Structure 1
Amino acid sequence: MSSPEIAVIVPVFNGAKYLPACVESIAAQRFADFVCVLVDDGSTDKTPALCDDIAAGDGRFVVVHKRNGGAATARLTGVQTARAYHPRWFAFCDADDLLHPDFLGEMHRAATESGMPIACCRRVLFTDDAVPAPGPLTAKSTLYSAPDHLDALLHNHDMDFGLWNKLYTADLPLEELLDNNVLYNEDLMANWRIFLLAKGCVYLPFAGYRYRQHAASMSHALPPQSLDDQRAVALHIRESVPAQWPALQQSADAFYYEKLVYLTSMILRREDTAPYRVQYGEMLIAISSGLKDRRLGRNPRLPLVMRLSAVATVRFPKLWRRLCQKYLKDRQ
């Protein structure tokens, strides 16, 4: 295979149910100059054979089989494998998701025309019962120069924390940045480190990435370690802001406090909170002590709804739990 313009990395673990549709959406890209690396992360279902069959039927697809190590290690293996083909850009796709037919083309166009090392588009959520039809394209895009792109990563929900709705120049040392020893929220940790090295990014408002929601998704689980990892990532972000960007420090401080309040609400919306006693106690102390802190609870970048939620968490815990269970049902 000659040097492709883009390498698409797809980590797969026991993904036989959804992988064919994912691969079909990649193969149908109107921008055809790509190689796709399927990384079988120690699957125990039909995924290994399925990956081999896909690669045998389409020369643009390559398969790597490895021992199970999680999505982050699978993506790292994929990037390392793809480097042998000397791509100019990297994209990522989860094995249960879908790409808009113009995802690669529009992201590549925006990145090359803007001269930015990262392109990003909007995601659209869907379920098995409602697969979205391709939406319209838009020519409008937004340029974020440093440090505004970092602020947008933290607070622009359309930009999202994920690796999968973005295109990255191959000049970035992705191998170093993806290997962050984080199991949950590893996408945000990787993107924060990547964005710190980038001069900015270009954002496209078109819905180029289709994110499947289903019960088996890791994003719907809440093991105690996920809370620990998310707090650790938010703290790392807060502590790693370059000193020359005080406005970004204020943004990161607000993000950290908002994360504490959000994670506490995730605990409270569950029927059984016993597994999270330690995490809940630690975050309650942190939220309470930060209420009057100008860098945290009184940070002007903290949304009012989060400020009120912090007060309710500390001062009206029983009422707040009832409200969380009644209205915050997305992760129950």
Structure 2
Amino acid sequence: MKLAVIVPVYKVEAYLHQCIDSILSQSYRDLKVILVDDGSPDGCGAICDEYAVRDSRVLVLHKANGGLSSARNLALPYTDDCPLVTFVDSDDWLEPGIYQSAVSYLQQHPEVSILGYGHNKVQGTCSSPCLMPEMTLSREEALDSYLAANKLAIEATVWSRIYRRQAIEGLTFREGSKWEDNVYSLEAFYQSTGDFHALPIAGYNYRIQRPGAITATEIPDLRDLFADIEESIDRHAGDTTYMEYANTLALLCLWRCFRTLCRVPGAYEQEAHRYLPWVARVRKRPYLAHLFSPSKRLKIRLFLFAPEAFLSVRRAFSSLKRRH
């Protein structure tokens, strides 16, 4: 049961050996490792070629720089001979045995379309595990969990999962976006026909706040994310069920965005105007109210229909908390 591992590579010369070695040394051997040199200006391309010479499971693709989504999209057609697909970022690395555990479960449970596992957040010499409890969710339960964003929620990151081919057939990442995983994950869960299962194993090591990484910023620009969501709604034109899921994702991302802007001094004044038009768009479309408690439903309605008044109260409350 061949597993395709897609690895976009760009300016990670210091980390690349650790990443590739952790994949090729997995006890599960039936792999197709697709290394995409995204026009890296350092020695990454040559390192990739060296691995292809040494291991027949490695396929190297070289391309002009186009970003993470572009590199993943180039690799996807080369996974046609693989019933399973996963992703690894080239500055991260795997724990030994994770693919054996994951694929063994999928072989024993054909009803599972997507399998997830936990990860370690690594910053310097410090590491903290992020795990979900072991559980199996139906397609609809998985979609709700993905959107709920509570402590048991499924995360957006595509590298924390293995997909059966059907779940991602025909899907691509929006190029030029910094938040490509969010919509891709939503579409994969929506398109899947089987269950989601979570293994309570930290199988992936995620390097956070690496210098130059897109996550290393306090107030991220989320306009790409909302553009991704709008584009996905257009792709599913006429599918009102998908629109409800996508609009709920937009609503929750806006809610978290404005909470951050209210907490950080000066951020609201500088950034809020960028997102108020998206609030107006979300307000005009249905969303999945059953995901929220009665009190949060009321807050969300106030946020959507009187955003500036509601947020003025939140800003005042946040300012008062900072003083005390």
Tell me the TM-score normalised to structure 2 length. Answer: 0.78
Distance 1:48 1:244, change over 3 A: closer
Q: Which residue of 2 aligns with 1:329?
A: none
Q: Which runs of 5+ in 1 are unaligned?
A: 327-332
Q: Which residue of 2 aligns with 1:160?
A: 155
2-side partners of 1:279 and 1:314: how far apart?
Answer: 14
**CA drift at 1:198:** 0.9
Q: Which residue of 1 aligns with 2:74?
A: 77
**CA drift at 1:257:** 2.5
Offset from partner CA, 1:124-183 (integer Å, 9 cap, x none):
2111212579x99x9x84222232222122225552111111111234554x31143461
1-side partners of 2:103 and 2:273: how far apart?
Answer: 45
Q: Which residue of 1 aligns with 2:292?
A: 302
RMSD: 3.8
Distance 1:314 1:163, change over 3 A: same
Q: Is the 8 A contact 2:177 2:225 kept in 1?
A: no
Q: Is the 8 A contact 1:268 1:324 kept in 2?
A: no
Residue type at the aligned position of 2:58 = F
Residue 49 of structure 2 is aligned to residue 56 of structure 1: no
Identity of aligned residues (%): 23
Q: Which residue of 1 aligns with 2:183?
A: 189
Q: Which residue of 2 aligns with 1:22?
A: 19
Residue type at the aligned position of 1:124 = N
Q: Which residue of 2 aligns with 1:259?
A: 253
2-side partners of 1:167 and 1:267: how far apart?
Answer: 34
Comparing 188-197 with 176-185, which one deviates more in the overlay?
176-185
Offset from partner CA, 1:268-298 (integer Å, 9 cap, x none):
5556647635314446x659x96xx9967x9
Residues paired across the two proteins, number: 308
Comparing 108-117 with 50-59, which one deviates more in the overlay?
50-59
1:1-332 alignment, distance < 5 Å? 5-83=2-80, 86-115=81-110, 116-130=112-126, 141-155=134-148, 158-172=153-167, 174=169, 176-181=170-175, 183-200=177-194, 201-215=196-210, 216-221=212-217, 226-234=221-229, 243=240, 249=244, 254-268=248-262, 273=267, 276=271, 278-282=273-277, 286=280, 299-302=289-292, 314-320=311-317, 322=319
**CA drift at 1:316:** 2.4
1-side partners of 2:230 and 2:125: how far apart?
Answer: 38
Distance 1:73 1:222, change over 3 A: farther
Q: Is the 8 A contact 1:258 1:306 kept in 2?
A: no
| Counterpart secondary structure, 1:316 | helix
Q: Is the 8 A contact 1:122 1:159 kept in 2?
A: no
Q: Which runs of 5+ in 2 are unaligned?
A: none
**CA drift at 1:48:** 1.4
Distance 1:159 1:124, change over 3 A: farther
**CA drift at 1:67:** 0.8
Q: Which residue of 2 aligns with 1:330?
A: none
**CA drift at 1:323:** 7.5
**CA drift at 1:252:** 5.8
Q: Is the 8 A contact 1:238 1:256 kept in 2?
A: no
**CA drift at 1:89:** 1.0
**CA drift at 1:114:** 1.8
Tell me the TM-score normalised to structure 1 length. Answer: 0.76
2-side partners of 1:110 and 1:268: how far apart?
Answer: 44
